[in-house]
Chains A and B, each alone.
Chain A
């Protein structure tokens, strides 16, 4: 009997390819798929050619049409993603709101200064008290 060729128009719906219709004629299937693509109602369309060989009982499958909308969409997505990838090591410029939020949230750069002054204050107190005690001890012993 030889080979039987069928052309399946498939549309991408709900995360999978689904058969929309089947043709025995490639030209007719391509015309219809193009028309469907132009209608803009489908996110992606393709035509799968199925060739059945009755002698070997094998079916060969290949895609003979893919809606350009899919390719355009993929290219656009790729184009958008590529600059992002290149820029990713560089720190992105924050928005004005982010800057303000960081500035208000960030602690003052001289935050350690009061700690140093406090240490000095206690150092003076301890040394002063020590000197007073030493002087009073010397005075008493005399």
Chain B
């Protein structure tokens, strides 16, 4: 399970997608989107294990996985850092959680999406992810920040 809501303080927003969106908006301020250098993994240590950073500059059709949180790796089966997103196993949270990155590049705004997939063990997994654009100026998106968590559906 990568649902961090269990460990969240009582008065804190439980949903990862909303928490990462709030963090992103705070970094953005008056800009179109924040830059990669604005990210501070220590300040989001509760969410960072569920985060993935994709480098899209120069590889928009198949981004490179710049960093991959360990909780996402647990659902991908291997360390995908430095590899193209297309190499992520289709039954992984990384592949499914980042599947709509093209839409974020097109719309240039954060998108939150939830769905389900069947993992390598044959179990149904419900997931929700948010992909947020990052760029050093308001013109070009250089990276994407993706945060995803999931929950396996108990077999009947």
Chain A residues close to B by CB (< 8 Å): 19-25, 28, 31-32, 35
Contact = CB atoms under 8 A, between A and B. Distances in A.
Contacts, number: 30
Contact of B111 (A21, A32, A35): A21
A25 B114 contact: yes
A23 B111 CA distance: 6
A21 B18 contact: no
Contacts of A28: 15, 17-18, 112
Contacts of A23: 111-112
In which size bucket is the chain B interface?
A: 10 to 19
A23 B114 CA distance: 9
A78 B79 CA distance: 60
A24 B18 contact: no
A46 to B, nearest CB: 15
A22 B114 contact: no
Contact of A31 (B18, B107, B111, B114): B18
Interface in B87-145: 107, 109-114
Given A20-B110, A31-B18, 9 more contacts: A21-B109, A21-B110, A23-B111, A23-B112, A24-B113, A25-B114, A28-B18, A32-B18, A35-B18
Given A28-B17, A28-B18, A32-B18, A19 B113 contact: no
Contact of A25 (B22, B107, B110, B112): B112
